Amino acid sequence: MDFWFSEAHTPNVKISIRVDKQLFSTQSDFQRIDVFESPEFGRFLTLDGYMMLTEKDEFIYHEMITHVPMAVHPNVKNVLVIGAGDGGVIRELARYKDIERIDMVEIDEEVVEVCKKYLPKTACAFDDKRLNIYYEDGLRFIRFCKNEYDLIIVDSTDPFGPGEGLFTKEFYGNCYKALKDDGIMVNQHESPFYTEDAMAMQRAHKRIVESFPISRVYQAHIPTYPSGHWLFGFASKKYHPLKDLNEKKWNKNKFPCKYYTTTLHKGAFYIPAYVEELLKDVE
């Protein structure tokens, strides 16, 4: 039997992963949710047919979206996470003992339930006492928040489908309002490589630049995402992602990270020339 999962990265490019079996499939109120078992990547989750995470490479995304801002901000007590139904970001945040409160806003409760059941390696910290989960539209939730959070992590899906509202100026503006005077927002920032993705990436960057005084982009290598070259946005009211990096303090944590190091942190902000060009175009 030849059983493959394929995702079109562009109309002319696709990636295929051999599948052992499909573990789960459902249509929630918002999207189609599937979980597969594969020989190469272990279990993986797709939403509306788009790869969200695989057991083999999810650590890259979750470490990079969490530890970069945590190593910069000196005193994170209140964190808001938008999306993150797979639990990976929560797992990374839960390592920090000084965090007092984690509010997580996920639009689709079924994603959380499915991940708890089929992806226990990421969905392992949902019982953390500091965590409050709100099942609603992130855009709506944040409308009512003001001067409340030290860090906002936007762990969204792509800018089409249910996640579209999380790539808008109204969302970034509301994030600015929800952050304290020295708050940081980090977001999943799409890929610069394929034309359509690059345009979405530019749009997001433009909207963030309009909303925050400091807005930088950093990168990571994620094999199962389109082109493998992925970006994150670092938007901040006060702290600079490199000048305010406190390596010594962060390294005292001695977290068992597989991708993130404070040295890589610095390197991640040095991006290819064509990406700099794309960003400059919209700044």
Partner 1 sequence: MNKLSQERAPIYEALQNFRRKRIVPFDVPGHKRGRGNPELVELLGEKCVGIDVNSMKCLDNLCHPVSVIRDAEILAAEAFGADYAFLMVGGTTSAVQSMVLSSVKKGEKIILPRNVHRSVIGALVLCGAIPVYVNPECDKRLGIPLGMKVSEVERAIKENPDAKAVLVNNPTYYGICSNLKAIVDIAHKNNMLCIADEAHGTHLYFGENLPVSAMAAGADMAAVSMHKSGGSLTQSSLLLAKNTVSEGYIRQIINLTQTTSGSYLLLSSLDISRRNLALRGKENFKKVMEIAEYARKEINKIGGFYAYSDELINGDSIYDFDRTKLSVFTLDTGLAGIEVYDLLRDEYDIQIEFGDLGNILAYISIGDREREIERLVSAMSEIRRVHSKEKMDFIVPEYISPVVAMSPNTAFYAEKESLPIDETKGRVCSEFVMCYPPGIPILAPGERITEEILEYIKCAKDMGCSMTGTEDPYIEKLNVLKGEF
User: Residue 196's closest CA among 30, 53, 10?
Assistant: 10
Pick the piece of the chain touching partner 1 (CB under 8 A) from 116-124, 133-141, 225-233, 270-278: 133-141
Q: Is 173 in the site for partner 1 (CB under 8 A)?
A: yes
Q: Is 140 in the site for partner 1 (CB under 8 A)?
A: yes
- Which one of residues 31, 66, 122, 174 is an interface residue with partner 1 (CB under 8 A)? 174
Place of tokens 């965090």: 99
- Using DSSP's 3-state secondary structure scheme, residue 227 falls into coil
Which run of H or of E encompasses 35? strand 32-38
Least Å distance, CB 237 to partner 1, is: 15
Q: Is 282 in the site for partner 1 (CB under 8 A)?
A: no
Pick the piece of the chain touching partner 1 (CB under 8 A) from 46-54, 116-124, 164-172, 247-255: 164-172
184-223 positions binding partner 1, by CB under 8 A: none
What the block records as the tokens of 146 is 């003001």
Pick the piece of the chain touching partner 1 (CB under 8 A) from 14-22, 51-59, 162-170, 263-271: 162-170
Q: Is 170 in the site for partner 1 (CB under 8 A)?
A: yes
Place of tokens 């945590």: 70
Q: Is 180 in the site for partner 1 (CB under 8 A)?
A: no
User: Residue 181's closest CA among 103, 114, 237?
Assistant: 237
Chain centroid to CA 48: 18
What the block records as the tokens of 234 is 């670092």
Q: Kindly list the catalytic residues.
A: 155
**Gyration radius of the chain over CA positions:** 18
| Binding positions for partner 1, rule: CB under 8 A | 137, 139-140, 142-143, 162, 164-165, 168-171, 173-174, 177
